[in-house]
Structure 1
Amino acid sequence: MPNQRLKSARRIVVKVGSNVLTAADGLNLEAVEMLSAQISTLVDHGLEVLFVSSGAMAAGLRKMGMQRRPEEVPQRQALAAMGQSSLMKAYETAFARHGKKVAQILLTGEDLNSRKRYLNARNALNTLLDWQVVPIINENDTVMVEEIKLGDNDNLSAMITLLMDADFLINLTDIDGLYDKDPRRHPDAALIPRVENFKKSIERFAGDIPGALGRGGMLSKIKAAKKITAAGVPMIIARGTQPDILSRLFSGECCGTYFVPRAKRLNSRKCWIAYTLTPKGTLQLDDGAAEAVLHHGKSLLPSGIVAVEGEFGVGAPAALASREGGTIGIGLVNYSAKDIRLIMGSKSGQIKERLGTKPYDEVIHRDNLVITEAC
């Protein structure tokens, strides 16, 4: 099945982690050359490739002779700025050997939370792909603060996959895939070749396999896989240091761990709502409302809301929670948190009586609501 999905793919995202791209004396130029050559071959065969590359901060660390990432945010930002220039210079040189041009794209969470900036980023990336330029994408660590950070490049690669309606995400790391325990410490660790659902044991396995240089370990890769497979897109985790790993995958060889996608694919706008936006608050639903939105495709009416957490305005993303407290979805609200508190528990016909106006019957229309419980 992964072989068929790869063969039919027209647009893919390749993500490579810091541990693949760094050597004791700086950037692993051999890895840079190898990946550039393989991606160039895929482009020559008509594939559109978006390349999410870690390594900037790790390269900066090596430049400064530092052994680990500092705790202070300004120092991390400075290291990322130093390392990003080295990273792009290496890629530009390597891709040029194969007749390919590259472009640097640096993003923050703020860029992807704004619908206008989200669409602008997509338009720019589509233009680069039309020109057969390889976009090399990273988080803008130099200006990153808690409020706008994406978290890690595993999450960024999932967001780019959804942003660009890509057909496949290949996540390259320094081990062969997801194991039942850390293979670097346990010789008897067994590779898990296929994941069809995300049982608690999967996250437990992943939590025991940390990263070294990068922010994300195996757990962040599992979270990325949950996002995109829930949206109907498959993902593979494989070892990026294997010779010709991308070529081997596309030739049909089974490598790494394959994450099976949900059968029905979400459209681009619903992907943005569900997996890119950060909820500004939470609406707690009664059992009837939870059943209606989960299983009957209904909009969320004020009568089914029993509590509101947070302060937010009209159009903001809000999480939907069941009485047990579990998140079941996310949607864009038609009313502010203040007004929802005034109308919650009431019927739609009572909205005007309570607010003096009634622009909408629904607190969240079904078109602006995405169920995420299965994730």
Structure 2
Amino acid sequence: MTDGSARRFARPALCVVKVGSSSLRGHDGRLDRGQVANIAEQLVAAQQAGTRVVLVSSGAVAAGMGLLGLERRPTDLPTLQACAAVGQGELIHEYQQVLARSGRAAAQILLSQDDFVRRGRYLNARTTLRRLLELGAMPIINENDAVATEELAYGDNDHLAALVASMLDAQLLVLLSDVEGLYDADPRTSAEVGLIERVDDVDALDDASIGGVGSYVGSGGMRTKVGSARVAVRSATHTVVADARRPGVLAEVVEGGAVGTWFVAQPQRLEARRLWIGFALRAHGQVHVNDGAVHALRVGGASLLSVGVVHADGEFASGDAVEVRGPDGRLVARGLSNYSVDDLRRIAGRSTSDAAEAFGSGFAREVVHRDDLVLL
């Protein structure tokens, strides 16, 4: 048990746990049934101790790889989807065997990006998950890999877990991985590394120093975990990255113990619509702006105007999500564009009044209104 005075945070009422592919695959290429059972037993113990749990589990592709005799993760989409279709049944079966021994039911939920983007589906998914928790079942979520395309291309179950945590107002997100946490240097290339135990400002981290893709089994990496932490902490959700194979890791984390890397939750939750714009929607293009626009957005809290736009790329229509990037290429914000990419290119660098005079009153609008903009 953790001394209450030394706890990082109070025991959460609701916790979302994500476990990655590399933490569930054995040396023989098949699903590591012992590790799945270990994770499931820890989840049951957390529930028995008073914390409701939702699991986001990778592993379907890894399980399918073993069953199909593949030694390395495929790179082509059809084979990835075939592996997911073959492996998903084995994955959920292994969890259910352990949960059944404690009188609990596993509820398989397969989600895609549309379930967070389309409001009707979002509300339905949230209602279903909440009801499952009320009934004592354990939701086990994975991306709908067998039919989805973009999700497999990005391998972003970390991001999915953060969105689920936000959806359910969870107090804690636990990202279980094959590493101990976030290090101050790359352990693969540096002999002297130290674990970063606490991150108070995730936006202050240097992206260049954060590791990318991890083991070949999974498609995520520390960069996706840090990105997921950015989503979660803005939802007032504490996030911990820890080693999935550490004995009793979940109990230690849930009790607020000093395990892994703790990303401290922001005290105020970003409103749901801004979370949706900033993190759930796929960006269809980029709007490149000058230093004046960056200053106006970051310091002045202004809308993005055409006079500050240098150029735009991608394929987006009015109402689509876009990234706003400064002169150095760094991401400044995400927002909903009032213009298509072609129209925005026509008015880039012009004042709003000049654009309206040249092309009509329909161009007397902001490029992105501040209410539709999320600074990143």
Among candidates 293, 296, 315, match of residue 297 of structure 2:
293
Matches within 5 A, 1:190-209: 190-197=194-201, 203-204=208-209, 206-207=211-212
Matches within 5 A, 1:117-136: 117-136=121-140
- Tell me the distance in 1 between the aligned counterparts of 2:355 and 2:210: 49
Give how far 1:354 is off.
Answer: 4.1
Q: Higher mean Cα deviation, 25-34 or 321-330?
A: 25-34
- Tell me the distance in 1 between the aligned counterparts of 2:353 and 2:207: 47
2:24 counterpart residue number: 21
- Tell me the distance in 2 between the aligned counterparts of 1:355 and 1:97: 69
Percent identical: 38
2:54 counterpart residue number: 50
- Ranges in structure 2 where 5+ consecutive residues have no aligned partner: none
Matches within 5 A, 1:31-46: 31-46=35-50
SS at match of 1:172: strand
- Tell me the distance in 1 between the aligned counterparts of 2:165 and 2:6: 17
- Ranges in structure 1 where 5+ consecutive residues have no aligned partner: none
Aligned residues: 370
Give how far 1:138 is off.
Answer: 1.2
Give how far 1:170 is off.
Answer: 0.5
Among candidates 126, 139, 144, match of residue 140 of structure 1:
144
SS at match of 1:39: helix
Q: Which amino acid aligns with 1:204?
A: S
- Tell me the distance in 1 between the aligned counterparts of 2:34 and 2:158: 22
- Tell me the distance in 1 between the aligned counterparts of 2:291 and 2:57: 44
2:103 counterpart residue number: 99
| 8 Å contact kept, 2:80–2:152 | no
Matches within 5 A, 1:81-96: 81-96=85-100
- Tell me the distance in 1 between the aligned counterparts of 2:327 and 2:190: 42
Q: Sort the Cα spacing of 1:172 and 1:358 in 2 relative to 1 into closer, same or farther, 3 A.
A: same
| 8 Å contact kept, 1:210–1:217 | yes
- Tell me the distance in 2 between the aligned counterparts of 1:147 and 1:15: 16
1:339 counterpart residue number: 343
Q: Which amino acid aligns with 1:214?
A: G
Give how far 1:136 is off.
Answer: 0.9
Q: Sort the Cα spacing of 1:160 and 1:360 in 2 relative to 1 into closer, same or farther, 3 A.
A: farther
- Are 2:59 and 1:59 equivalent residues in the alignment? no
- Tell me the distance in 2 between the aligned counterparts of 1:120 and 1:350: 45
Q: Higher mean Cα deviation, 349-358 or 289-298?
A: 349-358
1:320 counterpart residue number: 324
SS at match of 2:211: helix
TM-score (normalised: structure 2): 0.85
- Tell me the distance in 2 between the aligned counterparts of 1:345 and 1:183: 45
Q: Higher mean Cα deviation, 250-259 or 269-278?
A: 250-259
- Are 2:68 and 1:68 equivalent residues in the alignment? no
- Are 2:219 and 1:215 equivalent residues in the alignment? yes
Q: Which amino acid aligns with 2:270?
A: L
Q: Which amino acid aligns with 1:222?
A: V
Q: Higher mean Cα deviation, 253-262 or 326-335?
A: 253-262
Q: Higher mean Cα deviation, 214-223 or 311-320?
A: 214-223
SS at match of 1:103: strand
SS at match of 2:56: strand
Give how far 1:370 is off.
Answer: 0.2
- Are 2:203 and 1:173 equivalent residues in the alignment? no
SS at match of 2:9: helix
| 8 Å contact kept, 2:162–2:229 | yes
Q: Which amino acid aligns with 1:225?
A: A
| 8 Å contact kept, 2:175–2:242 | yes
Q: Which amino acid aligns with 2:41?
A: A
SS at match of 2:129: helix
| 8 Å contact kept, 1:2–1:258 | no
- Are 2:253 and 1:249 equivalent residues in the alignment? yes
1:155 counterpart residue number: 159
Q: Sort the Cα spacing of 1:355 and 1:103 in 2 relative to 1 into closer, same or farther, 3 A.
A: farther
- Tell me the distance in 2 between the aligned counterparts of 1:359 and 1:68: 52
SS at match of 2:287: strand
- Tell me the distance in 2 between the aligned counterparts of 1:115 and 1:360: 29
CA RMSD after TM alignment: 3.1
SS at match of 2:141: strand
Give how far 1:148 is off.
Answer: 7.1
Q: Sort the Cα spacing of 1:280 and 1:263 in 2 relative to 1 into closer, same or farther, 3 A.
A: same
Q: Sort the Cα spacing of 1:161 and 1:186 in 2 relative to 1 into closer, same or farther, 3 A.
A: same
Q: Which amino acid aligns with 1:240?
A: A
Q: Sort the Cα spacing of 1:153 and 1:196 in 2 relative to 1 into closer, same or farther, 3 A.
A: same
Q: Sort the Cα spacing of 1:287 and 1:109 in 2 relative to 1 into closer, same or farther, 3 A.
A: same
Give how far 1:205 is off.
Answer: 5.6
- Are 2:318 and 1:311 equivalent residues in the alignment? no
Give how far 1:87 is off.
Answer: 0.6
Among candidates 100, 105, 109, match of residue 113 of structure 2:
109
SS at match of 2:7: helix
- Tell me the distance in 2 between the aligned counterparts of 1:3 and 1:169: 16
Q: Which amino acid aligns with 1:192?
A: I
| 8 Å contact kept, 2:112–2:151 | no
- Tell me the distance in 1 between the aligned counterparts of 2:78 and 2:94: 25
- Tell me the distance in 2 between the aligned counterparts of 1:211 and 1:237: 16
